């Protein structure tokens, strides 16, 4: 046994303060288990139970063995505990096998999304000092091996490219597995993996999550979702995203002994077939997908009656859409307001249906500290809208290697400034009302895009809506409503009349109306406001 070197990866990591760490341990939030212990423990309890479903299903004993074999393989290549590797894999069982293998070897996965391209990958590889790039061969028209070739010459630290699928000039990922070796002892307070920030401005940032904090994240989320060993979780969103990975996602399911299925295609046609085939009980989607799935029951005839819980989060689910989900899909709806940075809010399964449809949930942990502040950073009265600040046992204390950004993104007391506008109900539930910066300043009047979008979505012809500010010489910004509609496009005059009828102030009415067939989406499938704004 060798022990994890507290090597270079710790430079630029902002740890939890020692006194708070002690409190989190004493309260039982941090248990001293590592993320891969979740697999080890479940494999001991039920070795023959199914772990990963697919064309070549794996039991827990098999997954446990495969994870060890990959860990030996990575170490045999000369990748050392504490080294960072970029992981860009699709939603397949290899994702889980590789992740557990890396964790067991004490190697730190930097979890990037399939939709990331050269600009993001090069930035993240350089920032993390990655020594390896673990990547799928291709998806659709895109060939990741070409990206890999360019990356090798651009990123000095990079030594290995391992490809899942057809390796081309590189080495096949699963072929590196070895039957024996020795594993390092891992400190549960050490970094387990790195997530990529949603990044509404600039290039993405790295979020280092420790074993202690991420085990809590996954297991406490599993408890809130009442996951058990009979649950089948479907990874619908890209598995490298915090939501399908650990809220409770793949890791929460492994912790409770359920089974995980994967799909690389979240369209109803494809995902419903997987739900039917594996009798999926739980999955997580973003709001545009929840809407699409709710509508698709009309034309898809796959039997999805096994689904008991649909988690929806990542962006605001409008109340009108929230009300459709449970009856259309015959599931319990759970709203999840989370962030890769940490804090998670869930509606509880037994919450009143009105709370489920009108709030984005309440904090996961009793030790989550929530403050709602005004523009000067002062706490404001309960129930009033302001910016959400938070700290707690699974919320980062600083982005990795980003001291200048950290000085702005955290208060001196270590609260993370989320940039989200919320109000908190007496029950603790949060209602998200947009991003601080997602406002249109029209001639000095501030208009919340979120508020306007909710009203636009209430129009029967409107399926998706986005409000953005466009530059205007007289007003500074004018209001543009981009609409995806069914049937005839309403005219600007009709939309104004409709909104006026709903009692909306005149200055908030759109100046410009645009029809679109689809709205641009981010890597995880949220509506991409940044892209809409730059489309001008």
Q: Distance between CA atoms of 344 and 287, rounded to whole angstroms?
A: 17
Please provide residue 30's backbone torsions phi and psi, each rounded to the nearest 5 degrees: -100, 120
Query: Minimum CB separation from ligand OOB for residue 252, in Å?
Result: 12
By CB under 6 A, name the one of 164, 335, 359, 406 that touches ligand OOB.
335
Number of chain positions touching ligand OOB (CB under 6 A)? 21
Query: Minimum CB separation from ligand OOB for residue 146, in Å?
Result: 27
Stretch that binds ligand OOB, among 156-164, 322-330, 338-346, 483-491 (CB under 6 A): 338-346
| Closer residue to ligand OOB in complex, CB, 174/284 | 284
Residue 52 sits in the site that holds ligand OOB (CB under 6 A): no
Stretch that binds ligand OOB, among 38-46, 241-249, 296-304, 367-375 (CB under 6 A): 241-249
Instruction: Map tokens 């993370």 to a residue.
Output: 416
Which residues within the stretch 359-378 sit at the binding site for ligand OOB (CB under 6 A)? 360
Q: What are 206's strand-pairing partners?
A: 196
What does the per-residue mask of binding to ligand OOB show for 199-228, with x meaning CB under 6 A?
A: ------------------------------
Q: What are 109's strand-pairing partners?
A: 85
By CB under 6 A, name the one of 70, 340, 402, 495 that touches ligand OOB.
340
Is the separation of the CB atoms in 424 and 383 below 8 Å?
A: yes
| Closer residue to ligand OOB in complex, CB, 296/317 | 317
* DSSP-derived pairing of the beta strands 191-196 and 206-210: antiparallel
Q: What are 111's strand-pairing partners?
A: 87, 195
Residue 152 neighbours by CB under 8 Å, 6+ apart: 133, 158, 161
By CB under 6 A, name the one of 84, 123, 205, 316 that touches ligand OOB.
316
Query: Minimum CB separation from ligand OOB for residue 385, in Å?
Result: 13
Q: Distance between CA atoms of 184 and 43, rounded to whole angstroms?
A: 20
Is the separation of the CB atoms in 233 and 259 below 8 Å?
A: yes
| Closer residue to ligand OOB in complex, CB, 117/515 | 117
| Closer residue to ligand OOB in complex, CB, 409/513 | 409
Instruction: Map tokens 């109803």 to a residue.
Output: 268
| Closer residue to ligand OOB in complex, CB, 76/436 | 436
Residue 28 neighbours by CB under 8 Å, 6+ apart: none
Query: Minimum CB separation from ligand OOB for residue 342, in Å?
Result: 9
What does the per-residue mask of binding to ligand OOB show for 396-425, with x meaning CB under 6 A?
A: ----------------------x-x-----
| Closer residue to ligand OOB in complex, CB, 165/314 | 314
Residue 338 sits in the site that holds ligand OOB (CB under 6 A): yes
Query: Minimum CB separation from ligand OOB for residue 171, in Å?
Result: 31
Assigned token pair, 534? 């730059």
Query: Minimum CB separation from ligand OOB for residue 247, in Å?
Result: 4
Q: Distance between CA atoms of 246 and 344, rounded to whole angstroms?
A: 11
DSSP of 275-300:
HHHHT--EEEE-HHHHHHHHHHTTT-
| Closer residue to ligand OOB in complex, CB, 107/336 | 336
Region of residue 487 (phi > 0: left; psi between -120 and 50: alpha; otherwise: beta): left
Strand ordering across the sheet containing 362-363: 58-59, 50-52, 259-262, 232-235, 282-285, 309-313, 332-339, 342-346, 362-363
Q: What angle do CA 179, 45, 208 make, to 5 degrees?
A: 70
Which residues within the stretch 432-451 sit at the binding site for ligand OOB (CB under 6 A)? 432, 435
By CB under 6 A, name the one of 82, 93, 258, 313 that touches ligand OOB.
313
Residue 196 neighbours by CB under 8 Å, 6+ apart: 110, 111, 112, 113, 116, 120, 124, 204, 205, 206, 207, 240, 340
User: Three-state DSSP class for 349?
Assistant: coil
Stretch that binds ligand OOB, among 239-247, 324-332, 378-386, 407-415 (CB under 6 A): 239-247
Residue 337 sits in the site that holds ligand OOB (CB under 6 A): yes
Query: Minimum CB separation from ligand OOB for residue 98, in Å?
Result: 21
Residue 247 sits in the site that holds ligand OOB (CB under 6 A): yes
Query: Minimum CB separation from ligand OOB for residue 35, in Å?
Result: 16
Q: Distance between CA atoms of 163 and 443, rounded to whole angstroms?
A: 53
What is the binding site for ligand OOB (CB under 6 A)? 198, 242-243, 247, 313-316, 335-340, 344, 360, 418, 420, 432, 435, 524
């Amino acid at each position: 046994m060798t022990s994890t070197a507290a090597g270079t990866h710790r430079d630029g990591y902002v740890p939890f303060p020692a006194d708070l760490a002690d409190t989190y341990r004493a309260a039982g939030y941090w248990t001293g288990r590592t993320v891969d212990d979740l697999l080890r423990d479940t494999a001991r309890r039920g070795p023959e139970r199914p772990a990963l479903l697919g064309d070549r299903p794996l039991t827990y004993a098999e997954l446990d063995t495969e994870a060890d074999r990959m860990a030996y393989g990575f170490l045999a290549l000369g990748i050392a505990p504490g080294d960072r590797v970029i992981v860009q894999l699709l939603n397949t069982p290899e994702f889980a096998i590789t992740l557990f293998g890396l964790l067991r070897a004490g190697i730190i996965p930097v979890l990037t999304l399939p939709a990331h391209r050269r600009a993001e990958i090069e930035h993240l590889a350089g920032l993390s000092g990655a020594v390896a790039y673990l990547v799928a061969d291709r998806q659709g028209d895109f060939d990741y091996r070409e990206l890999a070739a360019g990356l090798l010459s651009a990123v000095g630290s990079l030594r290995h490219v391992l490809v899942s699928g057809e390796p081309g000039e590189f080495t096949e990922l699963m072929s590196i597995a070895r039957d024996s070796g020795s594993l390092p002892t891992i400190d549960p307070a050490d970094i387990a993996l790195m997530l990529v920030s949603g990044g509404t401005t600039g290039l993405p940032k790295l979020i280092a999550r420790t074993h202690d904090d991420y085990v809590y994240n996954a297991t406490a989320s599993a408890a809130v979702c009442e996951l058990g060993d009979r649950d089948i979780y479907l990874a619908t969103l890209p598995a490298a995203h915090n939501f399908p990975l650990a809220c409770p996602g793949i890791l929460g399911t492994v912790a409770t002994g359920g089974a995980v299925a994967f799909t690389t295609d979240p369209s109803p046609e494809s995902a419903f077939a997987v739900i039917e085939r594996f009798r999926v009980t739980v999955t997580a989607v973003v709001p545009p997908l929840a809407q699409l799935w709710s509508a698709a029951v009309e034309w898809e005839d796959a039997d999805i009656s096994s689904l008991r819980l649909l988690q929806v989060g990542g962006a605001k689910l409008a109340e009108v859409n929230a009300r459709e989900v449970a009856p259309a899909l015959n599931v319990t709806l759970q709203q999840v307001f989370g962030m890769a940075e940490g804090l998670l809010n869930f509606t509880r399964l037994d919450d009143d249906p009105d709370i489920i449809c009108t709030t984005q949930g309440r904090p996961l942990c009793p030790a989550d500290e929530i403050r709602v502040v005004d523009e000067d950073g002062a706490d404001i009265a309960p129930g009033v809208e302001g910016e959400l600040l938070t700290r707690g046992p699974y919320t980062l204390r600083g982005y990795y290697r980003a001291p200048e950004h950290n000085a702005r993104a955290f208060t001196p007391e270590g609260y993370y400034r989320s940039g989200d506008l919320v109000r908190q109900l007496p029950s603790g539930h949060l209602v998200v009302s947009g991003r601080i910066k997602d406002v249109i300043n029209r001639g000095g009047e501030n208009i919340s895009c979120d508020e306007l979008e909710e009203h636009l979505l209430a129009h029967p012809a409107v399926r998706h809506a986005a409000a953005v500010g466009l530059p205007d010489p007289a007003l500074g910004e004018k209001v543009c409503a981009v609409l995806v509609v069914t049937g005839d496009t309403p005219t600007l005059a009709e939309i104004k009349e409709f909104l006026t009828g709903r009692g909306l102030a005149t200055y908030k009415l759109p100046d410009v109306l645009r029809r679109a067939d689809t709205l641009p989406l981010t890597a995880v499938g949220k509506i991409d406001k940044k892209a809409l704004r730059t489309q001008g």
